[in-house]
Amino acid sequence: MTYSPPWLDYEMAFLEAGLSAVAGLDEAGRGALAGPVSAGAVILPSGQPKNLQQTFDGVRDSKQCTADQREQLYELILSEARAAGVGMASAEEIDEMGIMPATRLAMQRALERLEVAATALLIDGRVRLPAVNLPQKSIVRGEQASLSIAAASILAKVERDHLLIDKAEEYPDYGFEQHKGYGTPDHLAALRDFGPTPFHRHSFAPMRLTLLDGHLDS
């Protein structure tokens, strides 16, 4: 597969303004029917852009990677990043506050897990974090434009996938290890047959309809 690698222009703009710990942020699982929304935060090490591109060669939007490639890049990012963290907001929190507030909460938790305090944020999409008093730039399709956001997308995806694979053992009828909580035909069929689990997002439409039919899994 050919792809255009993400670059470092946005990171360098903050660095040139004297902000030396630029954290890229991205989420995974926002559109799923089950499980948490996950967010990654990555601060790249200091260095010339060319050297950083070489160090993180292959890091790109997680959706452009195979599962095996994501696992390899995940280990690379944890090994080479200046700081990296993942935060999650549970299905219950999503039901309580809504998906966008929960996404922001997951991002704030990811920032709290960084070993180095961020001084500026690059965030994928149109998301902003009003509760975080730092300079921020939101970038639509940021995982294709910013290396730190691309790295964050891989961390968020891999750690969420690991959790869903673990949950497949607890709920073997749902196929979480395959669809990772997204609304595939097999997942929707399992919901019709068995009803939602406590791990599902009960505020999302397929679960609301199933609950109306009286199929809540106790």
Q: Which residue has the tokens 């639509």?
A: 140
Q: Helix, strand, coil: what percent of the chain each, to 5? A: 45, 15, 40
Tell me the C-alpha distance between 191 and 183, whole Å: 10
pLDDT in tens, 18-61: 999 999 999 999 999 999 999 999 999 988 888 999 999 999 99
Helix, strand, or coil (residue 139): strand
Residue 153 corresponds to which amino acid? Answer: S
Tell me the C-alpha distance between 52 and 71, whole Å: 20
Q: Write down the pLDDT at residue 48.
A: 87
User: Domain map of the chain by residue range?
Assistant: 9-165, 169-212
CATH of domain 9-165: 3.30.420.10
pLDDT at residue 168 tops 70: yes
Q: Write down the pLDDT at residue 206.
A: 78
Asked if 58 contacts 69 with a C-beta cutoff of 8 angstroms, the reply is yes
Share of the chain above pLDDT 70, in %: 94
pLDDT at residue 215 tops 60: no
Q: Which residue has the tokens 């303004």?
A: 17
pLDDT at residue 1 tops 60: no
Average pLDDT over residues 166-185: 97
Q: Write down the pLDDT at residue 212.
A: 44
Handedness of CA 200, 204, 206, 209 (dihedral sign): positive
pLDDT in tens, 73-123: 999 999 999 999 999 999 999 999 999 999 999 999 999 999 999 999 999
Asked if 116 contacts 43 with a C-beta cutoff of 8 angstroms, the reply is yes
- Chain length of the chain: 218
pLDDT at residue 2 tops 70: no
